[in-house]
Structure 1
């Protein structure tokens, strides 16, 4: 059995364990985060990338597989398509030394609900949240290996209809990613090959997409790092 097959079996077993080990009380507590943030403003030094009312500054990404994208009640709703669906930033975006913050939740489907493609100097990479059937977090691609097959892979349970805070930082040496207050990605990319899967190439230079999944995004902002 090859390594990809073994990896698929392991991830599938992990999903089963997560489903069996569901804690209703924990889920009940976490739904408190679902309250919409009214009049959200970026922290000092930050810049809003979503005004809460329109897609101003964004283009709906023409993947050819996309579902409809709309704004509703202060959220960007990326509806499930026949593959990737998402949005791409139409303005200028830094290539290094920056931080992006947003909140995202999955409302339908079982794959990644936040695939954030971003620049790293002259290259590009994607932070995948909830891929490969739901639990995979990691970077695609590292040395041509997907998040499911490289050392950045972390398995984490993600429930539907729950808001998760996602933060990405890119500096001269590292790509770092958090979900809520948990650091899940801490990768030194010096001397490594960074790339994206062909399916999300149209998200460059900066974009957010889903895969066979409906997701909602809100409170999107970024800041440049010194």
Structure 2
């Protein structure tokens, strides 16, 4: 093979410049604060029949009691370039009044959606809805916890390629494989919270510090 060393050197110099400029481009985003001014306008009411009011003030969402459900939807997931795998969700939730779920979050897992129920079925149930058409009260993620009203509860969820994990107040409640399982939502109004959103059931709830991070 024949080549001109001067020509080769010139091409090599341009290639070096290209890679240097590529490295100087905007960094890949690794986290999103969904109640920051940049993203807060994308929050809307989910459109659940007879839902309560949704307000955002000082970086907090308040879900007023519905008849029975209230939902807050953040529809900008795809346009904002958020991931659907290998990411974490962190937020804090408070049940101000009532005795049912108050910090339930719906989120994407690959091409599907599921919900982490927080304080459901009378106030204590925790779990993922749904796995293999079984909701949080029926599948292997079912757990129970006591949620004191007017107290902030810290939630973290990790969406991995083949597993889901969820902690509440630093205690691991969900640790399940998703490989070979059907993921989906409990049929009904919770579907209006996709692609990402919060829901409460006959309760007043507050949500704050909503963050998404790549893993």
Long gaps (5+) in structure 1: 1-43
RMSD across aligned positions (CA): 1.8
Cα contact 1:128–1:140 (8 A) shared by 2: yes
Q: Distance in 1 between matches of 2:39 and 2:181?
A: 38
Structure 1 counterpart of 2:88: 99
Cα contact 2:35–2:59 (8 A) shared by 1: no
Structure 1 pair 52/79, CA: closer, same or farther in 2 (3 Å)? farther
Instruction: Tell me how far 1:144 sits from its aligned partner.
Output: 1.1
Q: How does 1:179-190 map to 2 (within 5 A)?
A: 179-190=168-179
Q: Distance in 2 between matches of 1:45 and 1:163?
A: 26
Does 1:211 find its partner at 2:201?
Answer: yes
1:84 to 56, 69, 90: 69
Instruction: Tell me how far 1:65 sits from its aligned partner.
Output: 2.6
TM-score (norm 1): 0.76
Q: What count of residue pairs does the alignment treat as equivalent? A: 182
CA deviations 1:69-98 (Å, max 9, x no partner) are: 112343211101002212111212322111
Long gaps (5+) in structure 2: 1-28
Q: Distance in 1 between matches of 2:101 and 2:36?
A: 24
Instruction: Tell me how far 1:188 sits from its aligned partner.
Output: 0.4
Instruction: Tell me how far 1:206 sits from its aligned partner.
Output: 1.1
Structure 2 counterpart of 1:3: none
Does 1:161 find its partner at 2:146?
Answer: no
Does 1:201 find its partner at 2:191?
Answer: yes
TM-score (norm 2): 0.80
Structure 1 counterpart of 2:6: none
Which structure would you say has the larger Rg? 2
> Any idea what SS the aligned residue of 1:144 has?
coil
